[in-house]
Amino acid sequence: MDLKKMVGIEAAKSVQTGMIVGLGTGSTAFYMVEEVGRRIKEENLKIVGVTTSKKTEAQAIELGIPLKSIDEVPYVDLTIDGADEISSDFHGIKGGGAALLFEKIVASYSKEIIWIVDASKMVKQLGKFPLPVEVVPYGSQQLLRLFEEKEMHPVLRKNLTNDKTLVTDGGHYIIDLHLDSIPDPLALGTWLDSTVGVVEHGLFLSMVNKVIVGYNDGPKILEVK
Protein backbone atom coordinates (compact mmCIF):
# COMPACT_ATOMS: atom_id res chain seq x y z
CA MET A 1 0.00 0.00 0.00
CA ASP A 2 1.10 3.58 -0.63
CA LEU A 3 2.91 4.79 2.54
CA LYS A 4 0.96 8.04 2.68
CA LYS A 5 -2.31 6.14 2.47
CA MET A 6 -1.13 3.69 5.14
CA VAL A 7 -0.38 6.39 7.71
CA GLY A 8 -3.50 8.35 6.80
CA ILE A 9 -5.70 5.35 7.51
CA GLU A 10 -3.74 4.49 10.67
CA ALA A 11 -4.11 8.03 12.07
CA ALA A 12 -7.84 8.11 11.38
CA LYS A 13 -8.23 5.26 13.91
CA SER A 14 -7.48 7.81 16.68
CA VAL A 15 -10.61 9.79 15.78
CA GLN A 16 -13.50 9.06 18.14
CA THR A 17 -17.14 10.05 18.21
CA GLY A 18 -17.70 13.42 19.89
CA MET A 19 -14.33 14.86 18.91
CA ILE A 20 -13.59 18.17 17.26
CA VAL A 21 -10.93 17.17 14.74
CA GLY A 22 -8.40 19.40 12.98
CA LEU A 23 -8.09 18.21 9.39
CA GLY A 24 -4.66 18.89 7.92
CA THR A 25 -3.60 19.68 4.37
CA GLY A 26 -1.51 17.88 1.78
CA SER A 27 -1.24 14.61 -0.07
CA THR A 28 -0.84 12.55 3.15
CA ALA A 29 -3.58 14.32 5.12
CA PHE A 30 -5.79 13.73 2.06
CA TYR A 31 -5.95 10.00 2.86
CA MET A 32 -6.73 10.65 6.52
CA VAL A 33 -9.62 12.93 5.51
CA GLU A 34 -10.88 10.25 3.08
CA GLU A 35 -10.79 7.66 5.86
CA VAL A 36 -12.59 9.93 8.34
CA GLY A 37 -15.24 10.47 5.67
CA ARG A 38 -15.55 6.72 5.16
CA ARG A 39 -15.92 6.11 8.90
CA ILE A 40 -18.64 8.77 9.12
CA LYS A 41 -20.59 7.03 6.34
CA GLU A 42 -19.95 3.40 7.24
CA GLU A 43 -19.31 3.36 10.99
CA ASN A 44 -21.64 6.10 12.17
CA LEU A 45 -18.67 8.13 13.46
CA LYS A 46 -19.86 11.53 14.67
CA ILE A 47 -17.34 14.35 14.67
CA VAL A 48 -16.96 18.00 13.79
CA GLY A 49 -14.03 18.86 11.52
CA VAL A 50 -12.00 22.07 11.47
CA THR A 51 -10.17 22.40 8.17
CA THR A 52 -6.76 23.98 7.63
CA SER A 53 -7.16 25.08 4.00
CA LYS A 54 -9.71 25.73 1.28
CA LYS A 55 -8.55 22.53 -0.42
CA THR A 56 -9.23 20.34 2.62
CA GLU A 57 -12.50 22.19 3.19
CA ALA A 58 -13.66 21.30 -0.34
CA GLN A 59 -12.68 17.65 0.19
CA ALA A 60 -14.42 17.47 3.57
CA ILE A 61 -17.62 19.02 2.18
CA GLU A 62 -17.56 16.53 -0.69
CA LEU A 63 -17.29 13.69 1.84
CA GLY A 64 -20.11 15.04 4.00
CA ILE A 65 -17.90 15.74 7.05
CA PRO A 66 -19.66 18.28 9.34
CA LEU A 67 -17.47 21.36 9.66
CA LYS A 68 -17.03 24.38 11.89
CA SER A 69 -14.50 27.17 11.62
CA ILE A 70 -11.75 27.52 14.20
CA ASP A 71 -13.64 30.52 15.62
CA GLU A 72 -16.79 28.48 16.24
CA VAL A 73 -15.16 25.85 18.48
CA PRO A 74 -13.74 26.28 22.01
CA TYR A 75 -10.71 24.11 21.14
CA VAL A 76 -9.75 21.19 18.93
CA ASP A 77 -9.46 17.71 20.49
CA LEU A 78 -7.12 16.23 17.93
CA THR A 79 -5.42 17.54 14.81
CA ILE A 80 -3.94 15.18 12.24
CA ASP A 81 -1.66 16.75 9.66
CA GLY A 82 1.28 16.01 7.39
CA ALA A 83 4.76 17.49 7.62
CA ASP A 84 7.64 18.17 5.26
CA GLU A 85 10.49 17.27 7.62
CA ILE A 86 10.65 16.03 11.22
CA SER A 87 13.92 16.17 13.14
CA SER A 88 15.12 13.57 15.62
CA ASP A 89 13.99 15.90 18.44
CA PHE A 90 10.52 16.18 16.87
CA HIS A 91 10.58 19.71 15.57
CA GLY A 92 9.00 20.06 12.14
CA ILE A 93 8.91 22.03 8.93
CA LYS A 94 5.47 22.49 7.42
CA GLY A 95 4.06 24.62 4.65
CA GLY A 96 5.13 22.76 1.53
CA GLY A 97 1.45 22.84 0.61
CA ALA A 98 1.22 26.57 1.42
CA ALA A 99 -1.24 26.08 4.30
CA LEU A 100 1.15 26.72 7.19
CA LEU A 101 -0.66 29.73 8.68
CA PHE A 102 -4.05 28.07 9.08
CA GLU A 103 -2.33 24.81 10.05
CA LYS A 104 -0.42 26.58 12.82
CA ILE A 105 -3.53 28.39 14.05
CA VAL A 106 -5.50 25.13 14.26
CA ALA A 107 -2.51 23.35 15.85
CA SER A 108 -2.22 26.09 18.50
CA TYR A 109 -5.73 25.37 19.77
CA SER A 110 -5.37 21.57 19.62
CA LYS A 111 -5.13 19.35 22.70
CA GLU A 112 -3.33 16.66 20.73
CA ILE A 113 -1.43 16.73 17.44
CA ILE A 114 -0.53 13.74 15.28
CA TRP A 115 1.75 14.11 12.26
CA ILE A 116 1.65 11.54 9.50
CA VAL A 117 4.62 11.11 7.20
CA ASP A 118 6.42 8.56 5.09
CA ALA A 119 9.86 7.53 6.33
CA SER A 120 11.69 9.88 3.91
CA LYS A 121 10.52 12.90 5.97
CA MET A 122 12.37 11.79 9.13
CA VAL A 123 15.72 13.62 9.33
CA LYS A 124 18.43 14.24 11.91
CA GLN A 125 18.42 18.03 11.49
CA LEU A 126 15.88 20.30 9.76
CA GLY A 127 16.70 22.41 6.75
CA LYS A 128 17.17 20.37 3.59
CA PHE A 129 13.51 21.11 2.86
CA PRO A 130 13.17 24.84 2.08
CA LEU A 131 11.61 26.68 5.00
CA PRO A 132 8.34 28.38 3.98
CA VAL A 133 7.79 31.88 5.37
CA GLU A 134 4.37 33.47 4.86
CA VAL A 135 4.66 37.22 4.33
CA VAL A 136 2.44 40.23 3.69
CA PRO A 137 2.59 41.17 -0.02
CA TYR A 138 3.27 44.82 0.86
CA GLY A 139 7.02 45.02 1.47
CA SER A 140 7.68 41.46 0.34
CA GLN A 141 10.46 42.61 -2.05
CA GLN A 142 12.17 44.24 0.94
CA LEU A 143 11.93 40.96 2.85
CA LEU A 144 13.41 39.12 -0.13
CA ARG A 145 16.34 41.57 -0.03
CA LEU A 146 16.74 41.15 3.71
CA PHE A 147 16.79 37.35 3.45
CA GLU A 148 19.20 37.62 0.51
CA GLU A 149 21.56 39.81 2.56
CA LYS A 150 21.51 37.19 5.29
CA GLU A 151 22.37 34.52 2.71
CA MET A 152 19.17 32.65 3.35
CA HIS A 153 18.65 31.97 -0.38
CA PRO A 154 15.02 33.15 -0.57
CA VAL A 155 12.71 32.23 -3.42
CA LEU A 156 9.26 33.78 -3.83
CA ARG A 157 6.90 30.86 -4.41
CA LYS A 158 4.94 30.68 -7.65
CA ASN A 159 1.90 28.63 -8.61
CA LEU A 160 2.73 25.21 -10.04
CA THR A 161 0.32 25.78 -12.91
CA ASN A 162 1.45 29.23 -14.05
CA ASP A 163 4.20 31.77 -13.48
CA LYS A 164 2.16 33.93 -11.11
CA THR A 165 3.10 34.50 -7.48
CA LEU A 166 1.28 32.04 -5.24
CA VAL A 167 -1.29 33.65 -2.94
CA THR A 168 -2.17 31.70 0.21
CA ASP A 169 -5.67 31.14 1.59
CA GLY A 170 -4.91 34.03 3.96
CA GLY A 171 -4.05 36.35 1.03
CA HIS A 172 -0.28 36.36 1.62
CA TYR A 173 2.86 35.34 -0.28
CA ILE A 174 5.32 32.59 0.59
CA ILE A 175 9.08 32.99 0.55
CA ASP A 176 10.96 29.67 0.70
CA LEU A 177 14.33 29.87 2.44
CA HIS A 178 16.83 27.38 1.00
CA LEU A 179 18.96 27.08 4.11
CA ASP A 180 20.26 23.52 3.69
CA SER A 181 20.55 23.14 7.48
CA ILE A 182 18.90 24.74 10.51
CA PRO A 183 21.20 24.09 13.47
CA ASP A 184 19.14 26.27 15.87
CA PRO A 185 15.43 26.20 14.88
CA LEU A 186 14.36 28.05 18.04
CA ALA A 187 16.67 31.02 17.36
CA LEU A 188 15.61 31.17 13.70
CA GLY A 189 11.92 30.93 14.63
CA THR A 190 12.30 33.71 17.21
CA TRP A 191 14.05 35.96 14.68
CA LEU A 192 11.39 35.33 12.02
CA ASP A 193 8.64 35.98 14.60
CA SER A 194 10.14 39.41 15.25
CA THR A 195 10.63 40.36 11.60
CA VAL A 196 8.05 42.89 10.41
CA GLY A 197 6.01 41.67 7.45
CA VAL A 198 6.44 38.00 8.34
CA VAL A 199 3.01 36.62 9.13
CA GLU A 200 4.13 33.11 10.12
CA HIS A 201 6.82 30.59 9.36
CA GLY A 202 6.89 26.86 8.80
CA LEU A 203 8.91 25.93 11.90
CA PHE A 204 6.53 23.96 14.12
CA LEU A 205 8.59 23.62 17.29
CA SER A 206 7.66 21.33 20.21
CA MET A 207 4.10 21.04 18.94
CA VAL A 208 3.59 17.41 18.02
CA ASN A 209 2.49 14.65 20.43
CA LYS A 210 2.67 11.63 18.17
CA VAL A 211 4.23 10.86 14.80
CA ILE A 212 3.03 8.01 12.60
CA VAL A 213 5.77 7.06 10.14
CA GLY A 214 5.08 4.91 7.11
CA TYR A 215 7.57 2.14 6.32
CA ASN A 216 7.24 -0.60 3.73
CA ASP A 217 6.63 -3.15 6.49
CA GLY A 218 3.98 -1.06 8.24
CA PRO A 219 3.34 2.11 10.23
CA LYS A 220 5.48 2.95 13.25
CA ILE A 221 3.99 5.10 16.01
CA LEU A 222 6.40 7.43 17.82
CA GLU A 223 5.12 8.97 21.07
CA VAL A 224 6.75 12.32 21.83
CA LYS A 225 7.57 12.69 25.53
Examine residue 96 and tell whether it contacts ligand 5RP (CB under 6 A).
Answer: yes
CB of 41 to ligand 5RP, least distance (A): 24
Q: Is the Cβ of residue 77 or residue 200 nearer to ligand 5RP in the bound state?
A: 200
Nearer to ligand 5RP, 99 or 175 (CB): 99
DSSP string of the chain?
A: --HHHHHHHHHHTT--TT-EEEE--SHHHHHHHHHHHHHHHHH----EEEESSHHHHHHHHHHT--B--GGGSS-EEEEEE--SEE-TTS-EE--TTS-HHHHHHHHHTEEEEEEEEEGGGB-SSS-SSPEEEEE-STTHHHHHHHHHHTT--EEE-B-SSSSSBP--TTS-EEEEE--S--S-HHHHHHHHHTSTTEEEESEE-S--SEEEEEETTEEEEEE--
Check residue 24 for interaction with ligand 5RP (CB under 6 A): yes
Report, in Å, the least distance between residue 4 CB and ligand 5RP: 6
Single out the catalytic residue among 10, 35, 85, 103. 103
Tell me if residue 103 is catalytic. yes
Write out the binding residues for ligand 5RP, residues 43-82 only, by CB under 6 A.
81-82
Nearer to ligand 5RP, 15 or 29 (CB): 29
Residue 120 interacts with ligand 5RP (CB under 6 A): yes or no? no
Nearer to ligand 5RP, 25 or 140 (CB): 25
Binding site for ligand 5RP (CB under 6 A): 24-29, 81-84, 94-100, 103
Give the residue numbers annotated as catalytic, written as ranges. Answer: 103
